[in-house]
Structure 1
Amino acid sequence: MVQKRILVTRAPGEQSKGLVHLSNGVRPCALGGSGLGVLKREGDGLTPLGVFPLRQLLYRDDRVMRPRTLIPVHAIRASDGWSDDSDDRNYNRMIALPSPRSAETLKREDHLYDLVLVMGYNDCPRVRGRGSAVFIHLARPEYTPTEGCIALSKRDFLALLREVGPGTRIEVRG
C-alpha cells in the first residue's frame, strides 16, 4: 500500500516560513524560529527535517466542532499537558496537569491549539533532549515563528485535515 505524503518545504528566502503542498494548492505556514534542521534539541526552535506519521488530532471542543477525520481524535481537557522535561519518564508524551515537571498546557488561552495534529517526532523511540511537542497547529497572525512546530491558518489546517488519514506522513524537506 502506498502511503500518502504531505510535503512541507521552506519558503524561498525565508528561514521561519514554509509551504504546505496539498493536492489543491500550496498553502503558507510558519516554521520554527531557527528554521529547519536535522539535529533538533529541546528548546532550539528548529522544525525537524524528516518524514513523520500523524498520531492523533487534538481539538478544543469549547471552540471548534469535532473535525471529521479517520485518524484518532481527542478533545483537549483542562488537565491535558505535554511533557517537555527531558528528565521526565513521560518526556514527549501527553500527561495530566498539574505536574511537578515542566510541561506545556494544551488548553491554551490563545487559539494556537484549538486544532492540533500530533506528529510522530521523537516518540518511537523517545530520545531525551531531542525535542518534544512537535505539532501542526494554528498559526499566529502574520505567521510568526513557532517553537519548532508547523502552523497554518484555520482554513488551511482544515484543508490539510481533509487530505490526511491513517498512514499519512508529513515530509519536511529543506
Structure 2
Amino acid sequence: MIPKKKPVLTVRRAPGDRRRGILAAGPLRLRCALGRSGTTIFKREGDGATPVASMALLSAWHRPGRMVRPGARLAIRRIRADVDAWCDAADHAAYNRHVRLPFPASAERLARADRLYDFLVVLDWNIRQRTRGRGSAIFLHVAKPGYLPTEGCVAVSPSDMLRLAPFLALGARLTVRR
C-alpha cells in the first residue's frame, strides 16, 4: 500500500516502559525502541534521550549485503565501510553531518559490526537549523535484539523496517510524542 498523502509516522511511549514505543504509520502499529533516557523536550548531545519533535525524513543509508534494501521513496545512499561516518563533535564545523573517514574529530561509523545501521533514515533533528550540542545522529534505524534502548534514535525490527518502506518518503514526518 502506497499512501496518497505525505505520510506521518507517529511514535508514542509504550505503557510501562519509557524506553520503548509504538510507531504508527497508516494501519501499522509497530514496536520500537527509544532512547535509554526515554523522551525529552530538552535534547542535548549524549543525553541518551529521543527528542519529542516532529521531524522530516530527509534521506536514507543502506549497507548492501546485510539487509534487503527497503523500497523507501527517499534518496538512499550506499554505506561504504571505512568511509562513511556521522560527526558527533559539537565543537566541529561538520557537527551533525555526514563525514568521510579518516576524520579529525569524533564521528560515528555508519558501517557497524552490529546490524543497527544496515538501513537508516536521517531525521531532521538539529540538521536544517543546527545548534551545537543539541544532539546529533537522530535516526530511524534497525533495533537491537529485544528492543534494547537506543542512544536517542527510534529503532524497529528489520522486518518492520521493510513493512514501513511505503511510508518512508520525501515530505513524510516522524512525530515523537511525550
TM-score by length of 2: 0.94
1:97-148 residue CA offsets vs partner (Å, 9 max, x unmatched): 1111000000001111001011010011110000000001111111000000
* Alignment gaps of 5+ in structure 2: none
Do the aligned residues in 1 keep the contact of 2:72 with 2:167 (CA within 8 Å)? no
- Find 1:46's aligned residue among 22, 46, 49: 49
Tell me which amino acid in the other structure corresponds to 1:20. L
- Find 1:93's aligned residue among 91, 97, 112: 97
1:137 is the counterpart of 2:141: yes
Task: Name the residue aligned to 1:71.
Answer: 74
Structure 1 segments (4+ residues) deviating >6 Å: none
Name the SS for the 2:21 alignment partner.
strand
Q: Distance in 1 between matches of 2:142 and 2:5?
A: 28
Task: Name the residue aligned to 1:152.
Answer: 156
Name the SS for the 1:41 alignment partner.
coil
Comparing 59-68 with 109-118, which one deviates more in the overlay?
59-68
Tell me which amino acid in the other structure corresponds to 1:12. P
Report deviation, 1:2: 5.7
1:32-78 residue CA offsets vs partner (Å, 9 max, x unmatched): 00000011000000100010001111010121343322211100012
Name the SS for the 2:77 alignment partner.
strand
- Find 1:164's aligned residue among 162, 168, 175: 168
Q: Output the aligned Cα RMSD.
A: 1.3
Tell me which amino acid in the other structure corresponds to 1:54. L
TM-score by length of 1: 0.96
The count of residues paired between Structure 1 and Structure 2 equals 174
Report deviation, 1:164: 2.3
* Alignment gaps of 5+ in structure 1: none
